[in-house]
């Protein structure tokens, strides 16, 4: 900053044109802009279906009608730790946008300073002070204090939009974190629903196992009576006892799986382990039909992971532009105004104590631009990476929908056949027992029939659970669950 009343610096006139000429020459060496455009050439329809109705538009409260399941999801959305972590990530991204915005706005600072200086008499400054003392008969304080108060301003003119592009990229990444949270909600809703259906299935399998043990204990009683009547051997009694004990042991295995599933649900909900309310008696009647899937192009709007990947891609493009702007010259403006004196009493005597200054700097990289080149090359590589990542996310979404559609279709056919198998084996238990009583069937036939009936009923419950989970996964794959 300069004191009021001092003479101007006698700088040569051609300096500014020379600087502009040099900056233009350096700008000519800037590499061409390289931006990777991602492809999204999705098929027009799923297996010929042209219906645009999409289950992803359905809110999760409408999709999940079970009140107990709704209560679990509501609690998870309020208390899940991962969602809290994502919320803080959003806040951090929002703060980054604010910081980037501040970089291209003028900065003003209040400055106050105090110092003291003693110069040698045989230096330039000392000789000047001695001359002034002789001429004006006024002595400067020795040593000389220096007091100053004022304001300074600085501003980098964003000619090439380097700073504004960086701010826009940060804003896009902020929106990406919001979409990331929505994606987490989608997966959380699906995981709770799948665990809930697994818990219901285990409850039903536990009931089946207990019913089967009761049937086997009745059969064991019959075999013992047959042995007393010399119609059966001790071997038959032991085989039936072993079968009953084996199934009693399975009870504890199923109960352990129930405990672990309850604990997993409680973890997702954000609470400590405890009982989980559920309506397991309605498990067999739960709807497991397919869903309206709409058109593949709708995935681009409804899948939050695709939307986040798209935002990341756009942000990476802006990063490339911002990095490329590093090759261009920057124009910095600085200014300051204040009061400066060696005596506090003289500090307020303006304009004599007035201090001001204005300066502009045009700076262009000349030698050793490796850091700028490396930043540009890295930004270009990350932008291409984001482009391929976006394409992969879109492809993965389409494949997920097709897989879930195929799974639902095949599970429905399998379930229908297993229902017939269960009906046949359930009736065969009574038949084999009656034949054994009349000595027309071996005890092994009774054991194998009971074992096959138990396994078929277990498999039927397992298949129905897979149907429900496939339906939940299809809803998630279409982009539903976060609204």
Q: What is the reported pLDDT for 291? A: 87
Q: What is the reported pLDDT for 435? A: 83
Neighbour-count burial for 157-195, b at 16+ CB within 10 Å, e otherwise: ebebebbbbbbbbbbbbbbbbbbbbbbbbbbbbbbbbbb
Output the DSSP codes for 421-434. Answer: HHHHHHHHHHHHHH
Q: Is 116 part of a structural domain of the chain? A: no
Q: How far is CA 344 from CA 114, 147, 373, in A?
A: 10, 7, 52
- Residue 323 near residue 375, CB atoms below 8 Å: yes
Q: Is 352 part of a structural domain of the chain? A: no
**Residue 156 DSSP SS3:** strand
Q: DSSP secondary-structure letter at 54? A: B
Say which residue the tokens 């042991």 belong to: 249
Which residue range is the domain that position 395 belongs to? 30-106+159-327+370-477
Local confidence pLDDT in tens for the 483 residues of the chain: 544 434 344 444 565 565 556 555 555 567 777 676 777 788 888 876 777 788 889 999 999 999 999 999 999 999 999 999 999 999 999 999 999 888 888 889 999 988 888 877 778 777 776 666 655 555 667 787 888 999 999 988 888 888 999 999 999 999 999 999 999 999 999 999 999 999 999 999 999 999 989 988 988 888 888 888 887 888 888 988 998 999 999 999 999 999 999 999 999 999 999 999 999 999 999 988 888 888 999 999 999 999 999 999 999 999 999 998 888 888 899 999 999 988 888 888 888 889 899 998 888 777 678 888 899 999 999 999 999 999 999 999 999 999 999 999 999 999 999 999 999 988 888 888 788 777 777 778 888 888 888 899 999 999 999 999 999 999 999 998 888
Q: Is 343 part of a structural domain of the chain? A: no
What's the domain count of the chain?
Answer: 1
Q: Is 340 part of a structural domain of the chain? A: no
Cα 199 to the chain's mean position, in Å?
Answer: 27
Residue 63, domain CATH: 1.20.1600.10
Q: What is the reported pLDDT for 350? A: 82
Q: What is d(CA 458, CA 413) in angstroms, rounded to the nearest whole number?
A: 17
**Residue 111 DSSP SS3:** strand
Q: Is 362 part of a structural domain of the chain? A: no
Q: What is the reported pLDDT for 378? A: 94
Q: Is 222 part of a structural domain of the chain? A: yes
Q: What is the reported pLDDT for 464? A: 96
Q: Is 63 part of a structural domain of the chain? A: yes
Q: Is 449 part of a structural domain of the chain? A: yes
């Amino acid at each position: 900053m300069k004191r009021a009343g001092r003479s101007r610096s006698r700088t040569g006139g051609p300096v500014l044109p020379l600087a502009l000429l040099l900056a233009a020459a350096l700008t000519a060496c800037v590499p061409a802009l390289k931006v990777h455009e991602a492809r999204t050439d999705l098929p027009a329809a799923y297996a010929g279906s042209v219906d645009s109705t999409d289950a992803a538009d359905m809110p999760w409260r409408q999709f999940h009608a079970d009140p107990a399941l709704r209560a679990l999801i509501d609690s998870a959305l309020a208390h899940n730790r991962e969602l809290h972590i994502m919320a803080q990530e959003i806040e951090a991204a929002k703060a980054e946008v604010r910081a980037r915005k501040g970089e291209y706005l003028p900065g003003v600072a209040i400055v106050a300073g105090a110092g003291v200086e003693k110069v040698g008499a045989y230096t330039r400054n000392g000789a000047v002070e001695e001359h002034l003392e002789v001429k004006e008969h006024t002595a400067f304080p020795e040593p000389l204090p220096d007091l100053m108060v004022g304001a300074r301003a600085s501003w980098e003119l964003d000619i090439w939009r380097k700073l504004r592009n960086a701010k826009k990229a940060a804003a896009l990444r902020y929106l990406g974190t919001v979409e990331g949270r929505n994606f987490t909600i989608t997966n959380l809703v699906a995981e709770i629903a799948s665990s809930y259906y697994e818990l219901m299935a285990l409850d039903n399998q536990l009931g089946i196992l207990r019913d089967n043990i009761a049937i086997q204990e009745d059969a064991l009683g019959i075999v013992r009576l047959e042995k007393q009547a010399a119609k059966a051997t001790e071997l038959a009694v032991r085989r039936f006892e072993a079968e009953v004990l084996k199934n009693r042991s399975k009870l504890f295995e199923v109960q352990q799986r129930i405990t672990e599933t309850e604990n997993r649900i409680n973890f997702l909900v954000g609470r400590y382990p405890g009982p989980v309310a559920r309506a397991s008696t309605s498990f067999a009647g739960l709807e497991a039909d397919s869903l309206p899937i709409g058109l593949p192009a709708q995935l681009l709007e409804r899948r939050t992971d695709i939307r986040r990947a798209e935002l990341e891609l756009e942000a990476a493009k802006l990063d490339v532009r911002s990095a490329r702007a590093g090759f261009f010259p920057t124009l910095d403006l600085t200014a300051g105004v204040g009061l400066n004196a060696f005596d506090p009493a003289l500090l307020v005597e303006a304009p004599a104590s007035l201090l001001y200054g204005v300066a502009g700097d045009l700076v262009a990289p000349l030698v050793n631009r490796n850091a700028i080149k490396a930043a540009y090359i890295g930004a270009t590589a990350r932008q291409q990476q984001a482009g391929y990542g976006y394409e992969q996310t879109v492809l993965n979404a389409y494949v997920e929908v097709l897989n879930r559609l195929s799974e639902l279709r095949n599970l429905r056919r399998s379930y229908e056949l297993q229902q017939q198998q269960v009906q046949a084996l359930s009736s065969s238990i009574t038949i084999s027992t009656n034949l054994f009583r009349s000595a027309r069937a071996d005890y092994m036939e009774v054991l194998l029939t009971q074992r096959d009936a138990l396994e078929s009923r277990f498999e039927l419950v397992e298949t129905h659970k897979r149907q429900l989970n496939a339906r939940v996964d299809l809803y998630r794959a279409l982009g539903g669950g976060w609204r």
